[in-house]
Amino acid sequence: MDSADIRDDLVEVLFTEAQIQERIGEMAAEISRDYEGKDLVIVGVLRGAVMVMADLSRALHRHVEMDWMAVSSYGSGTKSSGVVRILKDLDADISGRHVLIVDEIIDTGLTLSWLTSNLSSRGPASVEIATLLRKPEALQMPIEAKYVGWDIPNEFVVGYGLDYRERYRNLRDIGTLAPSVYS
């Protein structure tokens, strides 16, 4: 059922807009320090990373090139298979440059593991990962994210770019959906 206010569909708010902005600010400060004086390209993974990219990039207060990739994971709807197809490739040539992949969540890690090795094969100076959320219990690949907002339990969350059937990406908070939404 369509509700009047999509916020009403959340059964629990895990992170409020204010908490998210604060954490993004801390991550940006760390990133600014680590990449001081270096040429930096941040790569957002469409479509979930749109909000993190918008806020993280503006919290950096330094020059940064913003580029995007869209990938699709073969396999059944909600489970990634690890076989990834590029739907939209980078516009930037990243050879010799520092690359920071920006994503909203690491679940199994299959997508980012594939993406990291794909980008690494293009001769960049470095490739690191920044993710707002990570589910340690769901990880299937040993994947090193240098910047992580929060580790969360293995449950399905929406908001701040994260969708359920392409909805809820535009929620300002991150939370879990009421069971009634799924039925």
Catalytic residues: 107
> What are the residues whose beta carbons fall under 8 Å from the beta carbon of 116, sequence distance 6 or more?
101, 127, 129, 143
Asked if 68 contacts 44 with a C-beta cutoff of 8 angstroms, the reply is yes
**Which of Mg ion, ligand 5GP, none binds 109 (CB below 5-8 Å, type-dependent)?**
ligand 5GP
Number of residues this chain uses to bind Mg ion (CB under 5 A): 4
Between 98 and 137, how does the x/- string for binding to Mg ion read (CB under 5 A)?
-----x----------------------------------
Which H or E run contains 177? Answer: strand 174-177
Query: Could you say whether residue 74 binds ligand 5GP (CB under 6 A)?
Result: no
Task: Name, in order, each residue with C-beta under 8 angstroms of 64's C-beta and a sequence gap of 6 or more.
Answer: 40, 41, 42, 57
Site for ligand 5GP in 141-160 (CB under 6 A): 156-158
Q: By three-state DSSP, how is residue 123 classified?
A: coil
Please answer whether residues 67 and 91 qualify as being in contact, where contact means their C-beta atoms are separated by less than 8 angstroms.
yes
Residue 156 near which of Mg ion, ligand 5GP, none (CB within 5-8 Å, type-dependent): ligand 5GP
| Side-chain half-sphere CA neighbours of 20 within 13 A | 23
> What distance in Å separates the CA atoms of residue 38 and residue 23, rounded to the nearest whole number?
23
One character per residue 34-73, x = contact with ligand 5GP (rule: CB under 6 A): --------------x-------------------------
Spatial CA neighbour of 158 closest among 87, 104, 79, 80: 104
Q: Which of residues 44, 109, 149, 175 is near ligand 5GP by CB under 6 A?
A: 109
Can residue 94 be called a binding residue for ligand 5GP (CB under 6 A)? no
Q: How far is the CB of 20 from ligand 5GP (least distance, A)?
A: 15
In the list 24, 103, 130, 160, the residue contacting ligand 5GP (rule: CB under 6 A) is 103
Binding site for ligand 5GP (CB under 6 A): 48, 80, 103, 105-111, 156-158, 162-164
